[in-house]
C-alpha cells in the first residue's frame, strides 16, 4: 500500500508495541510471541530492515520462529497500516514503521541510500496529479542515480 504524500494519519495513534497489539486484537488477530518480538525489533530500531534481518533479531530470542512467519506478520502489519515496505533498489525489500516512511535516493554504483525529504517531491506530486490524475507514492520505490562520490 504505502502512504501517499498527505495521506490521513491513522485513527489511533500508534507509538508503542502495545498500541499495535491492541490494534491487532481489534482486527480479530491474536497476540503471539513472534508478533510481539517482531514489533519490538521494528520499534527498537526504526531504520530499514529486510525480512531476513528481522528474522535474525527475533530468532535471537525465539530461535524457531520461521522466516515465513516473519513475512506473514509483516504482511499483516502492512494491512493494518503499521509498517510499510519499500524497495531500495535490487535486493530484498526493507520494512519500517509507516510513521517514519520517507523517500530515498539510491546510488546505482555504490548502493548508498540517502534520505530525501518529502518536500522535494511536492512539485512533482502536484504536477503528476494535475496533468495525469496520478497520485504519486514516492516512498515505495526509491529514485535511482549516482551519489556525490560516484559520479
**CA 124, CA 143: separation in Å to the nearest integer?**
13
Q: Based on the number of CB atoms within 10 Å of its own CB, is 64 exposed (0-12), middle (13-18) or buried (19 or more)? A: exposed
Q: Looking at beta carbons only, is 106 or 125 nearer to DNA?
A: 106
List contacts with its own copies (CB under 8 A).
Answer: 1-2, 4, 87, 89, 105, 107-108, 114, 116, 120-121, 123-124, 127-128, 131-138, 140-148, 151
Q: Name the region of 140 (left: φ>0; alpha: ψ -120 to 50; beta: rest).
A: alpha
Nearer to DNA, 67 or 113 (CB): 67
Query: What are the residues binding DNA (CB under 7 A)?
Result: 24-25, 28-35, 50-52, 62, 64-69, 71-73, 75-76, 91-93
Closer by beta carbon to its own copies, 30 or else 130:
130
Nearer to DNA among residue 56 and residue 69 (C-beta): 69
Q: Which option in DNA, its own copies, none does residue 33 bind, with CB closer than 5 to 8 A by kind? A: DNA
- Residue 61 interacts, among DNA, its own copies, none and using kind-specific CB cut-offs from 5 to 8 Å, with none
User: Is residue 69 within 8 Å of residue 34, measured between CB atoms?
Assistant: yes
Judged by beta carbon distances under 5 to 8 A according to partner kind, the member of DNA, its own copies, none in contact with residue 107 is its own copies
Which of 54, 77, 55, 51 shows the shortest CA–CA distance to 64?
55
Instruction: List the end-to-end C-alpha distance of the chain, in Å, as a whole number.
Output: 33
Amino acid at each position: 500500500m504505502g502512504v501517499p504524500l498527505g495521506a490521513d494519519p491513522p485513527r489511533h495513534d500508534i507509538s508503542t508495541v502495545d498500541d499495535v497489539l491492541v490494534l491487532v486484537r481489534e482486527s480479530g488477530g491474536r497476540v503471539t510471541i513472534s508478533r510481539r518480538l517482531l514489533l519490538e525489533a521494528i520499534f527498537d530500531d526504526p531504520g530499514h530492515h529486510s525480512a531476513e534481518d528481522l528474522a535474525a533479531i527475533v530468532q535471537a530470542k525465539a530461535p524457531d520462529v520461521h522466516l515465513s512467519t516473519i513475512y506473514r506478520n509483516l504482511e499483516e502489519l502492512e494491512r493494518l497500516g503499521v509498517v510499510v515496505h519499500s524497495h531500495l533498489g535490487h535486493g530484498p525489500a526493507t520494512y519500517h514503521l509507516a510513521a517514519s516512511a520517507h523517500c530515498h535516493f539510491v546510488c546505482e554504483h555504490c548502493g548508498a541510500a540517502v534520505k530525501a525529504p518529502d518536500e522535494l517531491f511536492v512539485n512533482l506530486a502536484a504536477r503528476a496529479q494535475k496533468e495525469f490524475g496520478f497520485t504519486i507514492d514516492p516512498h515505495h520505490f526509491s529514485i535511482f542515480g549516482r551519489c556525490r562520490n560516484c559520479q
